[in-house]
Amino acid sequence: MSKHIFWISSYPKSGNTLVRAIVSALFFTKDGVFRLEQLKHSTQFEKRDRLNLVKTINKNDFLKLDQLKVLSKYWQLLQEKKNMNINKGFGFVKSHSCYVSMFNNWFTNSNNTAGYIYVLRDPRDVAVSWSKHANLSYDDSINFMSNFDSCIEWADTESELPPEIKPKSFISSWDEHVLSWTNNKLNVPKLILKYEDLVYNKVETINIIIDFFEKQLEIQFNLKKEKIDNIVESTNFKEVKLQESQNGFIEAANGVFFRKGKKNQWKKELNEKQITRLENKFRDFMNKFGYD
């Protein structure tokens, strides 16, 4: 078992990028000062160019990768160490996929996985943020989050795949996604974080992340208070938003990626009917994770 992937997973617009920023500054800088280009240290799994491998294995399947029945056959093969460009230890890999079995194919397994951080966010704020990111109305955003069959396309990187073939990540509904990553039989170290803590209790949360890696994966850090202070400052929303405005950000869609980064946006943005829909649909998980 190589256990070479450390997943950073979340439902879309739930804080995945912020966790990646903190981890990148923690592991790949000496001073803790984060820059957007450091996100290269946490590659995205769902990139079209990764699928070129399938063409060398089965040309017929290669042209059917827009079908989850076909794509799911290759999930774990694509994740093998030789195919992930991870030379030693483990690498950080971003995903929005649900941890699920489709057509008897699990998204990942404990052979490939060293551990994971899963980050979740108040679904009422997700509805607002996803609507802006995906250019949807609030009602359509809520429909997407409530639909068990919801999917998003793999990142549009340069690939041998014909443009009309659009592979999809199975996202599912917000509650199914949360359930899949917070309550499963994947026997690896796992840390569940809340977006709101990452933003409003950042020092405490960074120390929780450090403690997790030290105790669960036996990684030792040469940390000084100055480095943690720099991580807090340089991953501040205003700072990364400024970097995006100056240099752009490849993961942005429909203009700006880093929009507001605050909690409780839903109170001003959603109407009573929309709030009630979300709360009725997701009440159990909202109560479990303190989203009253």
Fold of the domain spanning 5-288: Rossmann fold (3.40.50)
Distance separating alpha carbons of residues 291 and 234, to the nearest angstrom = 28
What is the DSSP track for 101-128? EETTEES--TTTEEEEEEEE--HHHHHH
> What rounded mean pLDDT belongs to the chain?
91
- Checking if the pLDDT of 195 tops 90, the result is yes
- 245: pLDDT strictly greater than 60: no
pLDDT value of position 250: 46
What band does 3 get if pLDDT is binned at 50, 70 and 90?
very high
Return the number of other C-beta atoms located less than 10 Å from residue 203's C-beta: 12
CA distance 194 to 198: 7
Show the tokens assigned to 63: 């042209």
- pLDDT, residue 24, reads 92
Contacts of 284 (CB under 8 A, 6+ apart): 175
Order the strands of the 113-120 sheet from edge to edge: 42-44, 91-95, 5-10, 113-120, 190-194
Pick the more confident residue, 222 or 55: 55
Q: How far apart are the first and last CA of the chain?
A: 41
Contact (Cβ atoms closer than 8 angstroms) between residue 48 and residue 154: yes
Instruction: Please indicate whether residue 183 or residue 86 has the higher confidence score (pLDDT).
Output: 183
This prediction's pTM: 0.91
* pLDDT at residue 262 greater than cutoff 80: no
Q: What is the pLDDT of residue 104?
A: 96
Question: What digits encode the pLDDT tens for the residues 64-111?
Answer: 999 999 999 999 999 999 999 887 789 999 999 999 999 999 999 999
SS3 47: strand
CA 202 to centroid of chain Cα atoms: 18
Residue-wise pLDDT for 106-125, tens only, equals: 999 999 999 999 999 999 99
Inform me whether the pLDDT recorded for 279 exceeds 70.
Answer: yes
